[in-house]
A and B are shown apart, each in its own frame.
Chain A
Amino acid sequence: MGLISDGTTIFDAGVMSAGLGGSMVFIKKLTASSSSSLSFVNGSNGVVLDSTYKEYLFLYKDIHPSVDGPNLQVQFNDSSSNAVTKTSNSFYAYHNEGDSTTQLVYVASGDLTQATGPQPIALDITNQNDSSAVGFLHLFNPSSTTFVKHFIASGTHMHDNIAVLSDHFSGYCNTTSAVAEVVFNMQSGNMDAGDISLYGIA
């Protein structure tokens, strides 16, 4: 039996009615512990990554690599776990602790051209003990079988030259197949620590 207040259903069948809990809905948090990857697979382990939401937001916090200097990267797969084709762009801003270098540049090593390889989202992270990477990834309408699937990522981290680096990426999965899996890993080595949370935007 549901809970109805003044004609409005508040709860029914054990869940709060849509629209009452806020528009940013927490779905799943994965925590790294010497992990080779963190995978969000639709329908698995409580993950929703389908037509339920038109926008999904991943927040990554204090990702710490096991080796010095790898990229944090993301892969988008279809429902058969096949990596999809992507085209993207990349730029960053940089300032080192020694105050000797500042940069605002396009980064060709961070972009993809009709490639199925992983998309970098944080470049050259140092693995000093106090170093980590933070940021976000938006994925829009992954279940569309009409349009390409756009993504935008931005973050900040300690670069392996001991600098603050601000990463910016956007691109699209150039496929009419739905994207049903999003997998994060390091370019080399493991994710020693950190967590990634997935939200649906209603």
Chain B
Amino acid sequence: MGLISNGTTLLDAGALDGGVATGAMTLLSTSTASSSANLTFASGINSTYKEYVFKFIDIHPQTNGKHFQVNFRDGSSAYDATKTTLMFYSYHDEGDGTPALAFVNSDVVAQSTDAGRINTGQGSDNDESCAGTLHLYNPSSTTFVKHFHSNIAYTDSSGTPNSINVFVSGYCNVSAAIDGVQFSFNSGNIDSGTIKMYGIK
């Protein structure tokens, strides 16, 4: 039996009616690291949503100076979709040294199946982590390339600790659907941290 208010069906057969206004951003999955080689979202990425958002919360690396990175599964079991990316960042250190805004040539890929870096040289001091967001668009399309972009704030303690704001954009240059996303560091584990995946209606 449905629930009807003032002539409008609100609930029926255990589900909200499609006409009821609800939140447009839905939490789909949460993955938490504990000395993990990677955090992988191997299910739930399909045509249900045209945009998926991944939120990084205090991702802490095992090894200093490594690069947080992403790769995409495009039809096999491997996370190796061909991609081209760009990266730029701004930074400012705790010693008030010279700040900068620059393109990061050393950390981009061109038509490569390698993981795409989404930060560079993250610090691993006990209080250091990264936080940010990655958007993946229309992963189930078999017509268009699959665009993604990210924005991450983090610290680099290779010298005087820096505040770094890094931006990455790119596309998976494949016609196959993307059905899995994997995050890791280029070396060492993800000691701790959480990644949440949302779908945008």
Contact = CB atoms under 8 A, between A and B. Distances in A.
Interface residues of B, number: 44
B55 interface: no
Contacts of B135: 134
Contact of A166 (B6, B24, B102, B149): B149
A16 B22 contact: yes
B104 to A, nearest CB: 9
Nearest to B5: A11
Contact of A156 (B8, B108, B169): B169
A32 to B, nearest CB: 13
Given A1-B5, A26-B24, A104-B101, A61 B88 contact: no
**Contact-residue size bin, chain A (C-beta under 8 Å from the other chain):** 35 or more
B84 A164 contact: yes
Q: Is chain A's interface secondary structure helix, strand, loop, or mixed overall?
A: strand
Interface in B176-201: 200-201
Interface string A84-120: 0000000001111111001110000000000000000
B22 A93 contact: no
A138 B105 CA distance: 30
Given A93-B103, A104-B102, A164 B171 contact: yes
A2 B5 contact: yes
B20 A16 contact: yes
17 contacts: A2-B5, A13-B6, A16-B21, A16-B22, A21-B22, A23-B23, A26-B201, A59-B200, A62-B50, A93-B103, A96-B84, A96-B110, A102-B86, A103-B103, A158-B145, A163-B84, A164-B86
Interface of B: 3, 5-8, 10, 20-25, 50-51, 84-88, 101-103, 105, 108, 110-111, 135, 137-138, 141, 143-145, 147-149, 167, 169-171, 173, 175, 200-201
A64 interface: yes
Given A23-B23, A26-B24, A132-B144, A14 B3 contact: no
B147 A14 contact: no
A195 interface: yes
Contacts of B8: 13-15
A93 B88 contact: yes
B147 A132 contact: yes
Interface of A: 1-3, 11-16, 21-26, 59, 61-62, 64, 93-99, 102-104, 129-135, 154-158, 163-166, 193, 195, 197, 199
B53 to A, nearest CB: 11
Residue in B20, B88, B167, B170 with the greatest tally of chain A CB atoms within 10 Å: B88
B5 A13 contact: yes
